[in-house]
A = this chain, B = another copy of it.
Amino acid sequence: MLTTVDAFGRIGEENAFAVLARATALAAEGRDIINLGIGQPDFRTPEHIVEAAIKALKDGAHGYTPSVGILPLREAVSRDLNRRYGVEVDPNLVMIVPGGKVTMYAAIRLFGEPGAEILYPDPGFPIYRSMIEHTGATPVPVPIREENGFAFSAEETLALITPRTRLLIINSPANAGIAALDGPHEAVTAMVAEFDRRRALVVEGLNALPGVSCATPRGAFYAFPNVSGTGWGSAKALASALLEEAGVAVIGGPDFGVHGEGYLRLSYANSAENIRAALERMDGFLRKRAAA
């Protein structure tokens, strides 16, 4: 019989991918689905980055690189941190990794074990809690409250620290935006401008829905509307009904943590046209269901 380490039974799922699978299955059945569930930007990578990758391939940059990343890239990160925050960071303390989850995995594995406590933002990225539980450490949610503008409260966070606290995960603004390093910034500026237009569209549209209010998000491309005024007691049930009945895929707030009840998450990494159509469908659905 195959015996694996118990810790692998304690890895959670990122429910956005389950919603994506269900949305894909409904679309395969011929249903018209607008997917605001997943945060997959609909922009191509800026052209100068693509050209740099093609040049590296042609120039023969094909062999092993240092496992922490090539020095010119680490130096560029250091310069960018200096430009943004005025801090001096030694490039030898910079490590390049393929994606964000790797950093969480490494940091949580490095500090997490039974008896240790790890503080993490809640609602937040579901993988924080999943990884903490995987290591056997105790997950301690730091509440991210709408009344604090979805930032953490220093007092509340400090009060959660104990002698067993090993790691405190901070992400502020929550799910921060695009990191553009050296090179022309026009493409990035254009993307940011377009996300800004969509953000205004989403926030205005959500605030016009019956029972819904939405603060303006300050990072990334997600809105986190408060839906507690809709009469739906369960945000996950509302998300599921929106997908099945109105053809709009969104994620229920509880998929991002215990403090996520009463909220939905919508990605606006989608076209303005799709965002408008999705808002109309949600409006129709909520008016019909409120009337029912």
A109 and B5 contact, CB distance less than 8 A: yes
A57 and B62 contact, CB distance less than 8 A: no
Q: Nearest chain B CB to A17's CB is how many angstroms away?
A: 9
A45 and B62 contact, CB distance less than 8 A: yes
B58 and A54 contact, CB distance less than 8 A: yes
**Chain B contacts of A135 at CB under 8 A?**
5
- Contact flags A2-17 to B (C-beta < 8 A → 1, else 0): 0111001000000000
Contacts A3-B111, A5-B113, A54-B54 given; indicate if A40 touches B64 (C-beta within 8 A): yes
**Chain B contacts of A109 at CB under 8 A?**
5
- Contact flags A109-145 to B (C-beta < 8 A → 1, else 0): 1111100100000000000000000010000000000
Question: Is A259 interfacial (CB 8 A cutoff)?
Answer: no
A111 and B4 contact, CB distance less than 8 A: yes
**Chain B contacts of A288 at CB under 8 A?**
none
Interface of A is mostly: loop
**Chain B contacts of A62 at CB under 8 A?**
44-45, 50
Question: Is A72 interfacial (CB 8 A cutoff)?
Answer: no
Question: Is A53 interfacial (CB 8 A cutoff)?
Answer: yes
Tell me which of B8, B58, B111 contacts A50 (CB under 8 A): B58
Question: Is A63 interfacial (CB 8 A cutoff)?
Answer: yes
Question: Is A60 interfacial (CB 8 A cutoff)?
Answer: yes
**Chain B contacts of A53 at CB under 8 A?**
57
A112 and B5 contact, CB distance less than 8 A: yes
A60 and B40 contact, CB distance less than 8 A: no
Kindly name the residue among A62, A109, A113, A116 whose own CB sees the greatest number of chain B CB atoms within 10 A.
Answer: A62
Question: Is A177 interfacial (CB 8 A cutoff)?
Answer: no
Question: Is A166 interfacial (CB 8 A cutoff)?
Answer: yes
A residues within 8 Å of B by Cβ? 3-5, 8, 40-41, 44-45, 50, 53-54, 57-58, 60, 62-64, 98, 109-113, 116, 135, 166
Subset of 27 A-B contacts with CB under 8 Å:
A3-B111, A3-B116, A3-B166, A4-B110, A4-B111, A5-B109, A5-B110, A5-B111, A5-B112, A5-B113, A5-B135, A8-B110, A40-B63, A40-B64, A41-B63, A44-B60, A44-B62, A45-B62, A50-B57, A50-B58, A50-B62, A53-B57, A54-B54, A54-B57, A54-B58, A57-B57, A98-B98
